[in-house]
Amino acid sequence: MIRFGMHASLWGAGWTREVAELAIPEAANHGLEVIEIPLLEPDRVDVAHSRALLAKHNIAPTASLGLPAEVGAPLNADRATPFLLRALEVAHALGCNCLSGVTYSTLGYRSGSPPTEAEYMTIVRALKPVAKRAGELGMMLGVEPCNRYETHMLNTAKQSVALLERIGEPACMVHLDTYHTNIEEKGFDAALTDARGLCRYVHLSESDRGVPGSGNIDWTNVFRALKARNFSGDLVCESFVNMMPQLAAALSVWRPVAKDRHEVLNIGVPFLRSSAQAAGLIA
C-alpha cells in the first residue's frame, strides 16, 4: 500500500518532544500518513511520547539516518554495527517498519578515490548483523544511494543492489531519492529498473531540495515509472527547511530551499498527490 509522508526535517533539526508535538498533528492535518524520523541521536528520542502522539493522530513512523563521523562504516565497522543496532531498536520501539538512509557511511565523507573492495567488505561486515536483526524484528534495513558530492560509496541503484547481494540478508531494500537520481542516474525509470524490485522506499525531493513542482525533476516520469512497476511502498517528501548544522554542512545546503514549511505543505504536497493521481499511481 502506498503511503505519502514527510521527512521530519521540515519541522525541526532533530527529533525532540517539541518537534514531535508540532510535526505529528500538522502532518495529519495535511493528509499525510507517514513521518520519517531522523535517528542520528537515537538515545535522545522520547519513545513513549512519540508513540502516543503518533497513535493519537494515526500517523505511521519510519526512521532514517546517516552514520555519525565517529562510527562511519567504511572506517569504523566495529563502532558502526552497535550504533546501527541501537538505532534499529529505537526505530522498532517507535513502531517503524524500516531503518533507512545512509546506513553505510557518513554523509559528506569521501576518500577522494573510487570505492575500494576493502571499503565494501567493511560495510558488508558492519551491516550484515544489522540486516539480520532487522529481519528478526520484522523490519527492513535500507541503503540510499546518494550523489557523488555526498559519498563515494553508493551513487546508483546498481551499486546498491550489488552491496545488498553481498550482505545476503532478505530484510534489505534499496531506498531511492529523486534528488540523487536526477544527478547520478540516466533517469528515475532507469534507476528503478536497476533496483530490480528491491526499491521499497522513495524520497520525493525537488532538484534544489525545495518545494516539489518548482524545479526540474520530471515528476510525470517518476510517477509513471512507479506505476509501471507496481510500486507499493512509502513515498516521503524530503525538503530541508530545518537542518542540524553538521548535516547542512555535509549536504552543502547554504541557502533556504523554501520560504517555510507551509509552502512545502500547502503547495508541494498537493502537487505530488495530484501528479501521482494523474499517473494512476493512487486514486
Average pLDDT for 173-195: 98
Instruction: Confirm whether 262 is domain-assigned.
Output: yes
Cell of 42: 537515537
How far is CA 50 from its chain centroid? 19
Decide if pLDDT at 244 tops 80: no
Instruction: Confirm whether 238 is domain-assigned.
Output: yes
Residue 74 binned pLDDT confidence (cut-offs 50, 70, 90): confident
Decide if pLDDT at 73 tops 90: no
Residue 9 phi/psi, 5-degree rounding, is -60, -15
Active-site position among 26, 119, 144, 185: 144
- Tell me what pLDDT residue 251 has: 77
Instruction: Confirm whether 114 is domain-assigned.
Output: yes
Average pLDDT for 42-54: 98
- Tell me what pLDDT residue 105 has: 96
101: β partners:
65
Instruction: Confirm whether 168 is domain-assigned.
Output: yes
Residue 106 binned pLDDT confidence (cut-offs 50, 70, 90): very high
Tell me whether residue 238 is one of the annotated catalytic residues: yes
CB contact at 8 A, 156 and 190: no
Distance from C-alpha of 115 to C-alpha of 60, rounded to nearest angstrom: 36
Average pLDDT for 93-113: 96
Supply the range of the domain harboring residue 260. Answer: 3-278
In 3-state terms the chain splits into helix, strand, coil percentages (rounded to 5) of 45, 15, 40
Residue 10 binned pLDDT confidence (cut-offs 50, 70, 90): very high
Residue 232 phi/psi, 5-degree rounding, is -140, 25
Decide if pLDDT at 138 tops 80: yes
- Tell me what pLDDT residue 245 has: 74
CB contact at 8 A, 134 and 99: yes
Using a cut of 0.85, tell me whether the model's pTM lies above it.
Answer: yes
Decide if pLDDT at 243 tops 90: no
Q: The domain spanning residue 72 has which CATH number? A: 3.20.20.150
Average pLDDT for 31-43: 97
Count of domains for the chain: 1
Tell me whether residue 144 is one of the annotated catalytic residues: yes
SS3 25: helix
